[in-house]
A and B are shown apart, each in its own frame.
Chain A
Amino acid sequence: MIIYGVAFLAFCTLAGIFVGELLGKLIGVSANVGGVGIAMMLLIFLGSYLHKRGILDATSEKGVAFWSAIYIPIVVAMAAQQNVYGALSGGPMAIIAGIVAVAVSFALVPVLSRVGQKKNLTASTQLP
């Protein structure tokens, strides 16, 4: 049944966010520590376990697939409620600070992509 998939997804999300809250309390920060990430790990590992056991069948998985497919519209709805007006009326310093932070972070993506990459790539470039 599709509801099994939706319920399973809801369970994973709630459990992950809950663990994230607990971790935040434990470390003493006023933020959720990786709740969504923990929920996702739970979904991946518990999901594959239940799938192997035949508990989560193809029909149930449709309950997860639907929410995965509705993701982009939800992101669009999220974009429509960002405080764009507030961001742009924050003045030049706030805008420049945001732009510089994003530009630097973008530039670092290819740099870090090389870290821990398979050794053979670096070995072959070092040869004369």
Chain B
Amino acid sequence: MYESLMKVLTSYSLLSGFAIIGLTMWVSYWISNTFTKGRLHGSAIAILLGLLLSYIGGAYTGGTKGIVDIPLFAGVGLLGGAMLRDFAIVATGFGVSVEELKNAGFAGVLALFVGVGASFVSGVGVAMAFGYTDAVSLTTIGTGAVTYIVGPVTGAAIGASSQVMALSIAAGLVKAILVMVATPFIAPYIGLNNPRSAVIFGGLMGTSSGVAGGLAATDPKLVPYGCLTAAFYTALGCLLGPSLLFFIMRGLVG
């Protein structure tokens, strides 16, 4: 019986994914209503539960894809993979107000540049504090703090060691996860409650998954505005990382 059950769950993986995530959502909204009287959004709790499941999956299998590395949960991987994620993010754009976008246009573009710069400087500063002095390592770790894609892309282009690249990926992952977890709590303090600030938030944070998760947990109406600018962030980082940012670092530390 066990084998038959496993066979159904793994061969109908997307459906298992719907069922598992549906159950997670139900549990989350129940926790939200019972223990926090709805003050902590059900979706925020669901994302936290998802991250917790991912930690358990990673610790249990030693893989890199969280819970999805356990065959029973492969459907969750399909449901939350890049294809359906992008499909759903684009769909949220349907209710977007063009006026709001125009209103935030310039600040959004500015936020992209400031965001890449600020994260890079933060990453470089911490790397220096931990004793790194060469331009290649500093740039790679700094760009890792931009996003976990920009780090390895830059590192590969300028010839960083694999250990430094791993560190830069880890820094980017911490950023993505922290944005998902912290955004609903920080949002009231930084005025993140309207489309304009969401556009700026997306440009400053940039990590697609972090912005997608963080805004979903804060206010789903803001999702398309943030994701729109965040879509350009990683590319901007990949463009600046191995070129301008690396040249600046080389000029500074030799």
Contact = CB atoms under 8 A, between A and B. Distances in A.
A106 B204 CA distance: 8
A64 to B, nearest CB: 5
Contacts of B220: 71-72
A98 B51 contact: no
A23 B231 CA distance: 13
Given A74-B80, A85-B66, A113 B173 contact: no
Given A31-B235, A37-B228, A72-B46, A85 B58 contact: yes
Given A13-B86, A109-B201, A112-B110, A77 B96 contact: no
Contact of B213 (A43, A79, A95): A79
Contacts of B24: 76, 80
Interface string B87-122: 111111111101000000011001100110011011
Given A75-B212, A98-B145, A83 B66 contact: yes
Interface size bracket, A side: 35 or more
Contacts of A101: 118-119, 122-123, 145-146, 171, 175
Could you tell me the dominant secondary structure of chain B's interface residues?
helix
A12 B47 CA distance: 27
A45 B94 CA distance: 9
A127 interface: no
Contacts of A100: 122-123, 125-126, 145
Interface of A: 9-10, 12-13, 16-17, 20, 23-24, 27, 29-41, 43-45, 47, 61, 64-68, 70-91, 93-110, 112-113, 115-116
